[in-house]
Structure 1
Amino acid sequence: MNHDGFELGLDDINNAGVYSVTNEDIGPLSAAMRDAGLRVTTIDLHGCNDKRTLIARVAAQLDFPQTFGGNWDALLDCLRDLSWQKANGYALFFSDADGLQENAEKDFDTFLDILEDASKSWSKDDVPFWAFVALNS
């Protein structure tokens, strides 16, 4: 991968979606996303081995509203909205996701589906929503 968008075509909203990367990719890729004018957030998933911890970390890092329900549906709703973090587009980086994938595979897969659904929802409004999940295994 190269530094200028990792050959993802940052200028094409149709390329936005969910991607697997390594922890080493996060620094240069987040720089490319910032250069593209996107709001970048990194969420550390180290030690995150279950749904409850995952949802709590995402909610805390993205400063979800106090009314956040703390379940999958509420997570998707908030990721589709983000009105409290106005931006031209979003790039979310989830570092150290191996523990979640290994210890809660079903929850990990559900989380990826939610990220993909959120990205598709944003694309309808011509807003790029990228999610990068770092796996080292």
Structure 2
Amino acid sequence: MSESGFDPGLTDASHAGVFFVTDEDLDALAAASRDAGLLARRIDLSGCDGKSALLLRMATILDFPDSSGRNWDALSDSLRDLEWLPAPGYVLLFEQAHDLRERNEADFDTLLDILDEASQAWASDDTPFWAFIALPEEDFPDLQ
């Protein structure tokens, strides 16, 4: 059991992936990530309306190198690398993701695909890479 009393098994790379949660879950997940010794970053998507804003926020929060491009391929490459943020594992906590989903569902879906691919790539190295996407609970039935 972790220091916080909440242990979702975040150190197990084979179970890592992309999961939908509510905004209320993020604090507990942040604490569990810290207790597991993983690097956690919160990415606030409130008001995010598409790819440009999303990529800028992620590059800022994850401190992407200046040489990183601002396109989907560069995001994918950066998330699969993260050598400038060495850690035994990674947890990305996306707050207010409903704004991006409502304003640009295609970009939201592309983000999910990239996060899933990154998680699978890290799992092959036995490194957990989690992405928790906070949405209103009423949105859950619509998700695939």
Q: C-alpha displacement at 1:11, in angstroms?
A: 4.2
Of all paired residues, the percent bearing the same amino acid is 54
Over the residues paired in the alignment, what is the CA RMSD in angstroms? 1.1
Structure 1 gaps, min length 5:
none
Distance 2:11 2:81 in 1: 22
Supply the distance in 1 between the matched residues of 2:43 and 2:129 (Cα, whole angstroms). 15
Moved over 4 A (4+): none
Q: CA deviation at 1:4?
A: 1.8
Write the deviation string for residues 78-118 of structure 1: whole angstroms up to 9, x where unpaired.
Answer: 00000000000000101001010011001100000000000
Corresponding residue number in structure 2 for 1:4: 6
Which residue number in structure 2 is paired with residue 35 of structure 1? 35
2: distance between equivalents of 1:116 and 1:26? Answer: 19
The match for 2:142 is none
Q: Gaps (5+ residues) in structure 2?
A: 140-144
**TM-score normalised by length of structure 1:** 0.93
Aligned positions of 1:1-137 closer than 5 A: 4-5=6-7, 8-136=8-136, 137=139
Aligned residues between the structures: 133
Q: Which moved more, 1:9-18 or 1:62-71?
A: 9-18
Instruction: Answer whether contact 2:119 2:130 (CA < 8 A) is retained.
Output: yes
In 2, the alpha carbon distance for the partners of 1:35 and 1:97 equals: 25
TM, length-normalised to structure 2: 0.89
With 28-37 and 73-82 compared, the bigger mean Cα shift is at: 28-37
